[in-house]
Structure formats: C-alpha cells, structure tokens
Amino acid sequence: MKIVAVLYPGGPAAKDTPELLGCAENALGLREMVEGRGHELVAITDTGAGVDEHIPTVDVLIATPFWPAYITRERIEKAPNLRLLLTAGVGSDHFDLAAAAERNITVAEITGSNVVSVAEHVIMQILTLVRNYIPSYQEVLAGGWDIGKVAAKSHDLEDKTVGIIGMGRIGQRVAARLKPFDVHTYYFDSRRLSTAEEQVLGARFEHLDALIRRCDVVSINIPLTPATQGMFDRDLLYSMKRGAYLVNTARGRIIDTDALVEVMERGHLAGYAGDVWYPQPAPADHPWRNMPNHAMTPHVSGTSLEAQKRYADGIRDCLTNFFEGRPIDRD
C-alpha cells in the first residue's frame, strides 16, 4: 500500500530536534514501521501539485490542520485506491467529508491529542492581549522605556468577564485554567453542562448574544461546520463589548476576514489573538498580518512537541489497526 503524509517543512529544526515528529522530514516517526511491513511511505510538503501527483495511486493519506492539504471532492474522485484519510491532530475540515462518505472512505483524527496544548495557548493569548505584552516587548526591542505608553493599555485579568464559545474538551480545559485568575466565566454551547460540571469549572451558561455583549474577553473553541462558518460576521463582531478582546484557536473561517480587519482598524475591539487562518499557510499579504493590535501565531497552538508525540502515536495506532484489518478505535 502507498501511504502519503502531507506535513509541514521542518527545515534545520527537523534534524536538530528529532522530537519534531509532525514535519515531513521526520514523518511522524512512521517510516520504520510502515516500510517494515512492506508498504511505501511518501512524506511531502507540497499541498498542491505534490498531492495531485500522488492522488491516483494513494491508499492512505495523512494530513494535518497546521499545514492542511485540502482533499476536495475532485481529488477524491481521482483517487480510486483511497481507503483511509487520517488527520494528524484534531479537526478534519480540510477533507470533503461528504465525498469521503459517498466513497465509503474511513476518516479518522486523533481526538484529544492536543486539547491541553490548545487550552494553554488560549490562556497565553488572553494574557498577551490583556497585559498588552506585544507592545511591551516591541518597546524593549526598539531600545525604549516608555512605561506610560505601554501601561496605559495594560490590565489585570482578575475580575474580568470571560466568555467561552464551545465547552467541549478544549473549552472545559480553558475554563479550568481560568479559575485561579478569579474571573467571571460564562460559556455558550449547543449542549449545556450539568450543574455539577458548571460548579467544578466555575462557569455559567449564557446564550450567545448575551455572552457576546457581556464579556471583556471571548474565546472561540468550536469546530468549523457549515453552521459556524462565517459565524463571527460584521454584526456579531460589532455586538461585542467595545474594548473587548477576542481569541480564536478554532478555525479561521469562523470569522469574516474583512469584518475583523474593519473592527480592529476602527478600534472597536482592543485586541485579537488568533492561531488559525484561512487559507493556510496564510499568504504574506493576508490582511490579518498587518491589522492593529493583534497577537497572531501561525497555527502552532496544537503542535507543541508533546502534542506531536500524542498525535504521532495515534496515527501509528490507526495505521496498525488498518494494516491488520481491525477497526480503528472510536473515541
């Protein structure tokens, strides 16, 4: 069988850091296992022509949310041997799930592999915005010492009202990590938690519109679906509290790209910290790169070295089951 893994380029770090399993050079640590079973493993970084070259002969394709290969209906139709699509990470919106289902192609991801990593990143980005860290750091790099300029927009997180949209595995871990900061936490989700769960997390349920208007900080932790694509449009963004902060480690397409730029340029929001873009990798002229008061990162929240180990192990388990004719475990 031919297994194709489409992964990010590791560069010099791939050799210097063998724990960087998610890059193409280190190929999720799969090469010995796959080739030892008599199969072919091809690890590439080209999400365009490189994928198209292998589509006609691929049996298993592995992709990642951090460097996504968009496996569209058109590509699936050109892949007669394709039987398994795997996401090295969490979130498989880069696959056309309807087209895969029509072909009876199994789609699996490594559920839970990076929930801790993403939750920690959310807390980091909240603090980065609220404490005005980026301008403080830039002041140091510039050789300055303008305390007034930086401190004028720096706040304590304590006693702020924080809203979590999506109280799944990541959202619950964000809430748990917020408790020691003595904030007022609200959440919105299609499924309300039990009273006991809410008490443990220190979070209260609120409907979306009310949460958006109430909160000083909002964290988006929902999957990308047809219902959530473009959810944060111009109207919803402007309904947020003036001077609020928005954090998005979910998916870039949940937010209207141009509307976000507008609210940032007009100063309606005090800051935006996102880890996700559309498309990915984001082009050099992506408007979010240069909008004011942002703390963007290049989709690294879920790919710490520890997370890479977890999702590499999960991919190995999926392939082992597949090779041996066993069903892939459901979580």
> How many beta carbons lie within 10 A of that of residue 189, not counting itself?
18
What is the distance between the alpha carbons of residues 180 and 86, in angstroms, rounded to a whole number?
Answer: 37
Residues of the chain whose pLDDT is less than 70?
Answer: 330-331
pLDDT score, position 28: 99
Dist CA 331 CA 327 (whole Å):
12
pLDDT of residue 331: 63
> What is the chain's Cα-based Rg?
21
Q: From the candidates 280, 286, 293, 310, give the one annotated as an active-site residue.
A: 280
pTM of the predicted protein model: 0.95
Which residues, other chains included, contact 315 with Cβ-Cβ below 8 Å and sequence gap of 6+? 28, 30, 62, 86, 88, 110
Burial 267-304 (b: 16+ CB within 10 A, else e): ebbbbbbbbbbbebebeeebebeebebbbbbebebbbb
* Catalytic residue flag (residue 294): no
Q: Look at residue 329 in the predicted model and tell me its pLDDT.
A: 79
DSSP string, 29-57: G-HHHHHHTT-EEEEE--SSHHHHHHGGG
**Residue of 251, 286, 294, 310 with catalytic role:** 251
Give exposure, 123-140, as e/b (b: 16+ Cβ within 10 Å): bbbbebbbbbbbebeeee
Considering only CA atoms, which of 233, 282, 216 is closest in space to residue 67?
282
- The answer to whether residue 299 is catalytic is yes
pLDDT of residue 61: 99
Rounded to the nearest 5 percent, the helix, strand and coil shares of the chain are 40, 15, 45
Known catalytic residue at 251: yes
Q: All domains of the chain, ordered by start, with CATH?
A: 2-113+304-323 (3.40.50.720), 115-289 (3.40.50.720)
Catalytic residue among 26, 114, 221, 293: 114
155 is catalytic: no
